[in-house]
Structure 1
Amino acid sequence: MSTERIRNFCIIAHIDHGKSTLADRLLERTQAISTREFRNQMLDDMDLERERGITIKASAVALTLRRGETEYNLNLIDTPGHVDFSYEVSRSLGSCEGALLLVDASQGVEAQTVANTYLAMEHDLVIIPVVSKIDLPQSRPYEVLAEMEKTLGISSEEALMVSAKSGEGVDQIFDAIIKYIPPPKGDPSGPLRALIFDSEYDAYRGVIIYLRVFDGSLKVGDEIFMIKTRRSFKVEEVGVFKPKMAPKNGLFTGEVGYCIANIKSIHDVKVGDTVTLNKEKAEKPLTGYRQPIPMVYCGIYPVDNADFKVLREALERLSLNDSSFSFIPETSQALGFGFRCGFLGLLHMDIVQERLERESHINIVQTAPNVTYEILKTNKEVIRVDNPESVPPVNEIDEFREPMVRSSFVLPTEYLGAIMQLAEARRGRYKSTEYLSEKRAILVYELPLAEIIFDFFDKMKSATRGYGTLDYDLIGYESADLVKLDILVGGKRVDALSTIVHKKDAEVRGRKQVKKLKKEISRHLFEVVLQAAIGSRVIARETIKPIAKNVTAKCYGGDITRKRKLLEKQKEGKKRMKSVGNVEIPQKAFLSVLSIDDDE
């Protein structure tokens, strides 16, 4: 097919603004799926996506549209909306020439709407504004158009009014795609250059790579060469997504599809790599993608140490399908062998943990999450720390630096005071307020990332009754008065419970932490002492009393010295047990830091 009749586009929006529903309608109108096979959220393949009602992975699908005698090939990529999956969005944008910008007619412009629009502009995409959910009783399309015009600089005359649920206005979208989105540029006769934008592992077929062809063509039987990994493979199958994999003879310039080439090792494929032909290599690789920087780290350990190898294999498969996830092996005195894993946010961490347990059937223990810090040592060396255990001794630290983010809150004006109060309590610095309309505003604060990764999002939603939204970008590192807070159980430091906190919050957090642990750790036959400490200074203590057995129950008479002898014997036994006994710490205790509430 001529590139003039190909259009590559994606759908971008804030979470829950109707991307997946619109994708369903586009599939339906182009008859890409039969009525018998159709179900809602057609492009959300994972059970997790369907259960939570969110898109986690970007999905590609080839649509065929007829306009009179002309047949157009439309390649659609449905993208996630949550801030934690913005890397998925940026990868999808790199494979497109245009984007449908979806805005909910009742909710209006939200934080991720703004962030995704700027991402699309960075990629020089043609943006088609679409106001969705116009059938809702509470919809206010004209107010939303004014918000889009003011915030995003998009002309309201260009916007389309759509209801993906009823199908109203969907045909106008197809006309706009053909009219405004340019066909892909490229050299059909030149050497092959294709960009890998995703991949997955199949137990029977090996690694399946998803790619967009920028120059040349790719056919069955070709020998491909990966420029980054320097590996060659023979192509066994190529095809497009309809939305299931549909084999074809070849992929040509401008097309999006998949390639199976008997790739056995997941280490031979890198997302962002350029695929070319072995016999006629391209001189210059494609730009690829900027490596994502993990924002949040935590330790993941198998409950049974025998599962360590199985966990490693599961993490490798997962990192192939999710290139924003990273991991390295580590050892904990409390938990044994495991991995230090990096994530883009707390939801990302939660999704990875659940996918691990579901897809690999491994029971895992997850430690409390923390962010990456910078430490300037007294010898002027700067080190990065993503694990509290790596913090050097206090006398070697000259300066402790924490990551700062620029946070944009989009919320009704009546909640401005509540959010400002919340941000100030979390050491935030006020930057600006911009009014979208009389009733909605964008509030900008600079906040420490560590202050927003735990329960900040939940508190923000509570303070705004669910109407507030948050988007944030890392802006750099700043010096702060931070300390390492250690937890001691029975006099032994539990490395998996160590955290880095601000000095002024250390005592309060330490006290809450040991109180929480007291509830989570069951009573033993000996006394268990829980302590919070900064260095060698103990700042909080709780005691779990031992289970007492009535050793004098059988003494129904006789001299009192007989009872005293038994009680002394018991006392000596408990003292000996305390010195050699192990305290069992349940998995819930390792996550107890997450549920420490400031208002307790």
Structure 2
Amino acid sequence: MKKIRNFCIIAHIDHGKSTLADRLLERTGTIQITEGQMLDDMDLEKERGITIKSHAIQMEYQHGGETYTLNLIDTPGHVDFSYEVSRSIAACEGCLLVVDATQGVQAQTISNLYMAIEHDLEIIPVLNKCDMINAMPEEVEDEIVELLGCDHSDILRASAKTGEGVDEILEAIVERIPCPTGDEDAPLQALIFDSVFNPFRGIIAYFKIVNGHISTNEQVLFVNTKKQYQADEIGVLKMDLSPRKELHCGDVGYIVSGIKTATEVKVGDTITSVSNQCKEAISGFEEVKPMVFAGVYPIETEDFEQLRASLEKLQLNDASLTFSPESSVALGFGFRCGFLGLLHMEIIQERLDREFNMNVITTVPNVSYHIFNKHGEMAEVHNPAGMPDAIEIEHIEEPYIRASIITQTDYIGAIMKLCLSKRGELVKQEYVSGNRVELHYDMPLAEIVIDFYDKLKSISKGYASFDYHPIGFRPSKLIKLDILLNGEPVDALSTLTHVDNSVYFGRRMCERLKELLPRQQFDIAIQAAIGAKIIARETVKQVRKDVTAKCYGGDISRKRKLLEKQKRGKKRMKEIGNVQVPQKAFLAVLKLD
């Protein structure tokens, strides 16, 4: 155990985390870098420059005549995957805090850093991209010193691109990060920090042994799911899986036991031995809860079963995706899917298109609400169509988040205005350094799921960084807004909105639908209603034939007779006619600003 070092790298998106990981692997001779990034192997990861799926890899490093085993447990950088980050951090004893010398400290760096401090990790600050022309090493070093309370001499300057400073980082990992602590003779206690799906071998779980040891063919128990398996194969994680007969306290490895269902392996669960069980699970385990919900429908109705199969395969790779069948009058049969956040939703859509060639329509994303009835019973609702009648509702609670925005002082006014328009409440404002300020806001999650991040980026010219974490549910004045066409509600167009925005939103929806609905042989009344009260109305005028064209001169009663006859026909047509909502009208309402 004295020769093992377990560490992770935490950084904001685009601060060079994956490039630095590749340099460490190259310098320790673990792999030969042939092209691009080796750890981020998904096309989407390479294109967007983000880590979606975390990886773990073992390196051998010679230092002072001794061979050290370094386990790098990589973490995703985006806020949507913060639970995975917390479990990866829990499996380490130290971390490299990578900060871009051209950008300085940003929001996610801070939130992941606090997580690392909570787990008592040894933090090694690394200033990356020092070779860039626009680097500001002195200023950014001051920010790091202020944040961590460390000395200037503790900060390592490096460039992951050129490889400068990588040897110093490897030496610091061995000298500064403590070796794992644990009892080799205690009952087995291992923390699962990730899992991957292999089509031939099932789910492969990655774990770190906190206490005890594990050997091949041992019967093991997953504490939180209460499932028992046989360890068909165990081993360590090189670039490929490398089998071993036994793994000991402090080791990071994998277990293959033929598990076929993604939901049976949960990140954060504890593995123990059936014959010699540990007294308690490792603390910190949580069920991953989806935050954002949206309906996913196939464009062609006959692709419904194919969409189900595609979602099931995606769920094997990504256990945080949840879905259940639902139907809509406007869109037919589809699925209500739960995502960790907007980026997660975007990635799932992209993967459905690329990996499974599925063309889908995604409805407007919404969040889950807690609805309390007059008897004090609570129901969780993800879809406005599932709302009970307004008379039965006592009150509604919606999820709130604590948002942290770091920006330059020039943009404070515009950002505060944006947050206030999204029902945000300022909690505190503090200066990080010279002209950079951190704003903390409490906001409803529903207000940020559509276009908040895009607007924030445009008003701050791309300089603001944004991070958030859920802080629970709060009572809110929410109402269901229905859209009626000729008195018939259209389920797929109903939304939950705040009382203050409802009239404006209803009016905008009616105006937009009026532009997009095709004219019929009868008038179409488009109404926005809250319960029985109509708050806005537009009319799509009927297509008329000029029945009086053949009357030239003569008595007025002839014209009147023909118009009355046409009126009766239109009335009868309205009774039997129904309005089809075209797909483009439906999608345009979702993009309503």
TM, length-normalised to structure 1: 0.89
For 1:9-158, list aligned pairs within 5 A.
Answer: 9-35=7-33, 38-158=34-154
User: What per-residue deviation string (whole Å, max 9, x for no partner) do you get for residues 443-486 of structure 1?
Assistant: 22222222222211111111111001112222333333321111
In 2, Cα distance between equivalents of 1:61 and 1:88:
16
Farther off after superposition, 98-107 or 289-298:
289-298
In 1, Cα distance between equivalents of 2:538 and 2:132:
54
Going from structure 1 to structure 2, the CA distance change for 1:520 and 1:158 (only over 3 Å counts) comes to farther
In 2, Cα distance between equivalents of 1:60 and 1:94:
14
Farther off after superposition, 351-360 or 88-97:
351-360
Farther off after superposition, 571-580 or 510-519:
571-580
User: What per-residue deviation string (whole Å, max 9, x for no partner) do you get for residues 165-200 of structure 1?
Assistant: 111111111111111111112233443322222223
The residue aligned with 2:431 is 435
In 2, Cα distance between equivalents of 1:232 and 1:120:
32
Amino acid at match of 2:26: E
For 1:531-550, list aligned pairs within 5 A.
Answer: 531-544=527-540
Going from structure 1 to structure 2, the CA distance change for 1:307 and 1:228 (only over 3 Å counts) comes to farther
In 1, Cα distance between equivalents of 2:484 and 2:402:
36
Work out whether residues 425 and 441 of structure 2, in 8 Å CA contact, stay in contact via their aligned partners in 1: yes
User: Counterpart of 1:407 in 2: which secondary structure?
Assistant: strand
The residue aligned with 1:482 is 478
1:579 aligns with 2:566: no
User: What per-residue deviation string (whole Å, max 9, x for no partner) do you get for residues 73-103 of structure 1?
Assistant: 1111222222122122112112211111111
Work out whether residues 24 and 40 of structure 1, in 8 Å CA contact, stay in contact via their aligned partners in 2: no
Shift of 1:120: 0.8
For 1:477-556, list aligned pairs within 5 A.
Answer: 477-519=473-515, 521=517, 528-544=524-540
User: Counterpart of 1:370 in 2: which secondary structure?
Assistant: coil
Going from structure 1 to structure 2, the CA distance change for 1:257 and 1:531 (only over 3 Å counts) comes to farther
In 2, Cα distance between equivalents of 1:251 and 1:80:
26
User: What per-residue deviation string (whole Å, max 9, x for no partner) do you get for residues 462-516 of structure 1?
Assistant: 1111001112222333333321111224533222222111112111111222333
Going from structure 1 to structure 2, the CA distance change for 1:531 and 1:202 (only over 3 Å counts) comes to farther
The residue aligned with 2:469 is 473
Work out whether residues 103 and 109 of structure 1, in 8 Å CA contact, stay in contact via their aligned partners in 2: yes
For 1:25-424, list aligned pairs within 5 A.
Answer: 25-35=23-33, 38-287=34-283, 289-304=285-300, 307-424=303-420
Farther off after superposition, 502-511 or 213-222:
213-222
User: Counterpart of 2:434 in 1: which secondary structure?
Assistant: coil
Report the identity percentage: 49
Shift of 1:549: 8.8
Work out whether residues 63 and 242 of structure 1, in 8 Å CA contact, stay in contact via their aligned partners in 2: yes
Going from structure 1 to structure 2, the CA distance change for 1:81 and 1:524 (only over 3 Å counts) comes to farther
In 1, Cα distance between equivalents of 2:322 and 2:112:
24
Going from structure 1 to structure 2, the CA distance change for 1:41 and 1:399 (only over 3 Å counts) comes to same
Work out whether residues 97 and 125 of structure 1, in 8 Å CA contact, stay in contact via their aligned partners in 2: yes
Work out whether residues 10 and 17 of structure 2, in 8 Å CA contact, stay in contact via their aligned partners in 1: yes
Work out whether residues 207 and 252 of structure 2, in 8 Å CA contact, stay in contact via their aligned partners in 1: yes
Going from structure 1 to structure 2, the CA distance change for 1:543 and 1:219 (only over 3 Å counts) comes to farther
Amino acid at match of 1:226: F
User: Counterpart of 1:444 in 2: which secondary structure?
Assistant: strand
Shift of 1:527: 5.3
Amino acid at match of 1:143: E
User: Counterpart of 2:46 in 1: which secondary structure?
Assistant: helix
In 2, Cα distance between equivalents of 1:537 and 1:565:
37
User: What per-residue deviation string (whole Å, max 9, x for no partner) do you get for residues 542-576 of structure 1?
Assistant: 444567899999x9x9x9999x9899679947963
TM, length-normalised to structure 2: 0.90
User: Counterpart of 1:163 in 2: which secondary structure?
Assistant: coil
Going from structure 1 to structure 2, the CA distance change for 1:188 and 1:576 (only over 3 Å counts) comes to same
In 1, Cα distance between equivalents of 2:586 and 2:255:
42
In 1, Cα distance between equivalents of 2:373 and 2:517:
37
In 2, Cα distance between equivalents of 1:43 and 1:550:
71
Going from structure 1 to structure 2, the CA distance change for 1:491 and 1:13 (only over 3 Å counts) comes to same
In 2, Cα distance between equivalents of 1:521 and 1:118:
52
Aligned length: 591
In 2, Cα distance between equivalents of 1:252 and 1:523:
74
